[in-house]
Structure 1
């Protein structure tokens, strides 16, 4: 029973460490999300600037150059967005795992409490049983002494009455 409690305590400690790691990872996700939002705002600002500049340009060469530049930037941002989206999905999954671990942790704590209560109940019953055993043993010892004394008295009376020694 102590081994089971020890295993449960070890598992609880492991879950607490994992929960702590997941909280750190969640903080990283929030930072990444903030960075993604800033990049999106920057992208929108750049897109507006490119649109305004392209309308102001009169030559086809300038328009082609701006389109090439914005295409490259958009490709990089698309790649970054895809990367950040993957990270965000991974963090969402880890968050769900963290919630599952917390639920498991609560269940393990409840089981540990139940085991501890059963252990206390067994200890109390054992103490009560030991007390009863000691009482019965004392009573039996008293009965043996009384039986010996009565046997001696009975033999003494028989000898007096019958005049014969009884063994």
Structure 2
């Protein structure tokens, strides 16, 4: 089972890095155009986030955080009330993802919105899906764990979330690349 998990994790980490490379290609292409050079930094940011998420998929960094917090909660006699804490953590993490998404949308200039079309919207929505999955895994609430690890067509729901998020980001990068080819 462990070898299967590592193979599965490596495959999804490679998918993250592949989509990140698509974002890098868009960033490099946009940097050449003076009117779009400021937008290139957003595409580099997307690529960096995808790379970090890919590394987390491979190494499961949040498991160490969950383990440390669990042992701390047991020492402080909070572990029995972890459900309430986990629920608030889910709400806080989802709020954080929504806030970051909204800040990115508001930071985009009107000119780049006109030029880029919906590309950034697709990428941000895909990243939000990926971060929601990460948040749900990190909180490790029994209800969400059951949902995330439920298998549908031989793939867990969490992996379906990953595929949905990566697909949305790839769609946005492809759309941006197409717009650049027309210019």
Q: Which has the higher contact order (CA 8 A, sep 6+)?
A: 1
TM-score (norm 1): 0.31
Task: Specify which structure has the higher proportion of helix.
Answer: 1
Indicate the structure (1 or 2) with the bigger Cα radius of gyration.
1
TM-score (norm 2): 0.29
